Structure 1
Amino acid sequence: MSSLTAVIDLDLPGPTISRHVYGHFAEHLGRCIYGGFWVGEDSDVPNVRGIRTDVVEALRALRIPNLRWPGGCFADDYHWRDGVGPRDQRPRMVNSHWGDVVEDNSFGTHEFMDLCEMLGAEPYVNGNVGSGTVREMSEWVEYLTRADDSPMAALRRANGRDEPWQVPYFGIGNEPWGCGGNMTAEHYADLARQYATYVRNHGGNTVYKIAAGANADDYHWTEALMKVSQKLGCGCDPRGFFQGISLHYYTMTGGWVGSKGHATQFDTDDWYATMRRARKIEEIVRGHANVMDAYDPDHRIGLVVDEWGTWWDVEEGTNPGFLYQQNTLRDALVASTHFDVFHRYARRISMANIAQTVNVLQAMILTDPDTGALVLTPTYHVFEMNTGHHDASSLAVHVKGEVPTRAVEGADVPLLSMSASTKDDAALVSLSNLDADAPTTVVLDLRGREVTGFSARVLTAPTIQTHNTPDAPDAVAPVAHDGVRPHSRGLEVDLPARSYTTVRLELGA
């Protein structure tokens, strides 16, 4: 068993980790909306105004901070007026991106905003640039947020909602380099300025406008957006077209063409390949942050990682366009390592949204279409274990000693990932052991404040392929961890193989 030391200065808090990096994403895709969140008011599944009750309760336990909707690729096919008014009079549409199915628009603006209110989450609405118009987007913001007798406010009242909603986040299109229009970076940058001009603040609602950013390591795309928003090396105020730039990055063992890898049938080589590609998020975030720093040294424009997570081949027998995949311990550790990166780059990353919330890709929740059973995934538990990081101050973790590595695809992949934060009189330390077979021990050298108490939880499983099902809903679930003990420098923590551990510290002066 190897051992190393991690030094944490508890009295030197860094940038705040926004709770919004624990955001979620719900697209009109497969069974995320229909059959996931939305079952309809006549369903036998318990619901409130058509929204599934147990899904809401499970997500409230995560303190879900925001929810992105309606896409994704779907956003640039979506015309919001088709989703308001009496449900039986709403026009149908073809969801050409995801399964080529026809949907009836029964879940639209009012239903989404109702869902956000039930969740206690802030809405992140994604507008249509690819097939929409400037006027359409501007009127949607007016419909959502204006309080007086303007035309769109009057239409909202006619559709049953008197008071405006608060909509703090609005996306200016999605993936314009691909499904959102196949544009060049410079062409989209000009459109982003134009569209964002008409996404107005009405009354007391201030919109944080998010430009559609890069795919993975396309740093040129980010620079094109920064050029139109700020002068190179200028510390003055940005021009205000948008306040955030998005980034999309998915983890898979295959490629975009052909197999992306199997969600549950994989070996240790696949495990380590996954960890290598998951850890690439740090290189990608650093690259985009460096570009943004050149134009915005004061960090006034946020990096919004609003699509991230694993993408595997769909489960056998399901619609290929519905992107339904199982979720194992491997997915949980992909999530935990991503969060460590988001914590380290808290000064730049203002939001992140895992793809997606229910029944799609790296979901928090899986629902059975036949029995109605609800399953919480291993990834769900990582989100729950990390709620103590919400709006906490990041703490630097300095490792002394050699972090164990494994050679994977020509690179040495670190097998330990850590981050820490502090809030009020507590701190939370997160530790991921990515070694599939070997445990390790870490000494937490805790400095600057007295530790008056501690507790720990661990998430692991007998195999790397273990996952939760209706018959075994707690096959991967956190339990109290007794492998933590006092040490002359602070605490000594045993990390089982293939595990995620959180240690909560109670702090004195």
Structure 2
Amino acid sequence: MTSLINVNKNSKNEVISRHIYGHFAEHLGRCVYEGIWVGEESPIPNTRGIRNDVVDALKKLNIPNVRWPGGCFADEYHWKDGIGPRESRPSIVNNNWGKVTENNHFGTHEFLDFCEQLGTEPYICGNVGSGTVQEMQEWIEYITFDGQSPMADLRRKNGREKPWKLKYFGIGNENWGCGGKMRVEHYADLYRRYETFVRDYSDIPIYKIACGPSEADYHWTEVMMREGTGRTEPYSDNVMTSAWEHYRPNMHGLSLHFYTRNRANYDSSTEFTEEKWFDYMRRTVVMEELIQRHTAIMDKYDPEKNVDLIVDEWGSWFKVEPGTNPGFLYQQNTLRDALIAGINLNIFNNHCDRVHMANIAQLVNVLQAVVLTEGEKMLLTPTYHVFEMYKVHQDAKLLPVSVSTKNYSYGEDTLPMLNVSASQDDSGKVHISICNLDPNNSEQVHVNLKGLSELSSASGRLLTAEAMTEHNTFENPNRVEPVAFNNIELKENELSLTIPSKSVLVVEIQ
């Protein structure tokens, strides 16, 4: 059997938001300190304390946004601790991640400088768990107000004359867990209170993101959509009140957190058998069901899709590397992680009608990082290369795909062998990203491109390796990296190729 991929014209003009390719930097382990921030006195080349090599590498990904300061850290973070002269900033205990001392040298100014160096949008997460309404309101004012006020004047005193541009703001993080262990009914009321004081001080309206569910907590989504949209009952064609016709949501996005992990037994990131490979592929594709079911609830209250789904924590979670602090969540990154990234990004692309943003956890040295550092050394992980290959989808028009493929079987369990998404950019180029989940078998693939404008050439880039467990190390940093893939036949808008086992392939047709 040859796998068949039908790539269809986009009849709904759905666009894959570039923000699906967002990232996440928490004050956790060596993500911020050592990974991003080394300080101005460091021998490691830096610009105002921020590592040059990391910035240069990340700029090549066209990163659209970075979420900060957490995570669990956000709901214990008091932003005024991180402004002013660094030598005067108070040290605190990072209670969530190893109980290490945090000196607050990387705060609001440093984070927003990092974003400006990257050319990316900041996504700041505010403190609901232990913070006050006034504290959150003043942070927005400090960052965005251009007039005379106590907070704007304080910003100027600290060296920043003009305000920054801030669009994305999260009102709490995981308030069902580390952010306060709240019932959704309680958080929904708190959200309505806090968001009232997240005011627009500039011509860029604040896009407010509410804490959403953990994994399959559909009750949380139900309550938040009811309370966040101001609609007390699901939409009905038979009952169209003025409230339905003219409502304005007080939330613009609802977050969702889901990690590919085994909570009962965190496994090694680099030492695993095919049984574990299959298990984590199976766990990854659960994201499809979660998005479908949460979207169905959102559609009941918001058929116009005014409220976006924001998957602002996702990625693989394994046992920490031997000899490292368990609270630092430092793990290696193999070809398996590349497939996990590619599958998730394909799923987000295909659901871009509701998914506006996603943030892989995390940027540097934590969980499924795209960059690892060790002193002055830096390497790019297989996950980095997937993001670099997939950046062609950013802000491109979604091309819906239907896939007929054989199954990848292990024991009595099966999964579809191929996972696919496609898009067309403004220049007319078509990009198809294909993941082959099977670690043993290549697959012949036929792609039907009928209905699209005539296409005349095709090329590709392939990410794979000899072993499932292959990964890049500081001694051998280029073991897993993309290579040219030209074994593609294009004839009258039909494409034929053979995708190798355990691989991620991006094909460009023009």
Structure 2 CA distance, aligned partners of 1:499 and 1:377? Answer: 15
Q: 1:414 aligns with which of 413, 416, 419?
A: 416
Q: Distance in 1 between matches of 2:10 and 2:282?
A: 33
Q: Which range is displaced more, 20-29 or 481-490?
A: 481-490
Give the match for residue 217 of structure 2.
Answer: 218
Which digits, 9 at most, give the CA deviation of each residue in 1:455-484, with x for residues without a partner? Answer: 101000010000001121111100001221
CA root-mean-square deviation = 1.3
- 1:199 is matched with which residue? 198
Aligned equivalents of 1:106, 1:486: Cα separation in 2: 55
Identify unmatched segments of 5+ residues in structure 1: none
Q: 1:69 corresponds to which residue?
A: 68
Deviation at 1:385, TM superposition (A): 0.2
Query: Aligned equivalents of 1:113 and 1:488: distance in 2?
Result: 49
Aligned to 1:321: 327
Counterpart contact for 1:130–1:181, Cα < 8 Å: yes
Say if 2:126 is the partner of 1:127. Answer: yes
Distance (Å, rounded) in 2 between the aligned partners of 1:129 and 1:420: 39
Structure-2 residue corresponding to 1:382: 386
Which whole-Å CA distance do the structure 1 matches of 2:439 and 2:258 have between them? 24
In the superposition, relative to structure 1, how do residues 283 and 407 fare at CA in structure 2: closer, same or farther (>3 Å)? farther
Q: CA deviation at 1:91?
A: 0.6
- The CA deviation string for residues 108-150 of structure 1, in whole angstroms up to 9 with x for no partner, is 0000000000000000000000000000000000000000011
| Matched AA of 2:423 | S
**Counterpart in the other structure of 1:243:** 252
Match of 1:502 in 2: 506
Aligned match of 2:285: 279
Instruction: Give the Cα separation in 2 of the matches to 1:12 and 1:474.
Output: 41
User: Paired residue for 1:161?
Assistant: 160
Q: Secondary structure at the match of 1:421?
A: strand
Determine the structure 1 residue equivalent to 2:462. 458
In the alignment, what sits opposite 1:437?
440
Query: What is residue 183 of structure 2 aligned with on the other side?
Result: 184
- Superimposed CA distance per residue, residues 214-251 of structure 1 (whole angstroms, 9 cap, x where no aligned partner): 10010111111101122221753554321000000000
**What residue is the counterpart of 2:107 in the other structure?**
108
Aligned AA (2:398): S
2:208 counterpart SS class: strand
TM-score under structure 2 normalisation? Answer: 0.96
Q: How many residues align?
A: 498
Bigger shift: residues 82-91 or 196-205:
196-205
Q: Does the CA contact (< 8 Å) of 1:14 and 1:395 recur in 2?
A: no
User: Partners of 2:246 and 2:114 in 1: how far apart?
Assistant: 35
Alpha-carbon spacing, 1:166–1:320, altered in 2? closer, same or farther (3 Å) = same
CA distance in 1, matches of 2:10, 2:127: 46
Q: By how many angstroms is 1:10 displaced?
A: 4.2
- Residues 238 and 375 of structure 1: CA distance in aligned 2, closer, same or farther (over 3 Å): farther
How far apart, in 2, do the equivalents of 1:236 and 1:380 lie?
44
Residue identity over aligned pairs, in percent, reads: 50
Q: What is the TM-score normalised by the length of structure 1?
A: 0.96
5+ unaligned residues in a row in structure 2: which ranges? none
Give the SS at the match of 2:2: strand
CA contact (8 A) 2:7 2:449 kept: yes
* Aligned counterpart for 2:362 among listed residues 344, 353, 356: 356
Does residue 21 (structure 1) correspond to residue 24 (structure 2)? The answer is: no
Paired residue type of 1:76: D
Tell me the distance in 2 between the aligned counterparts of 1:447 and 1:60.
Answer: 36
1:266 maps onto 2:272 in alignment: yes
Matched, 1:345 2:368: no
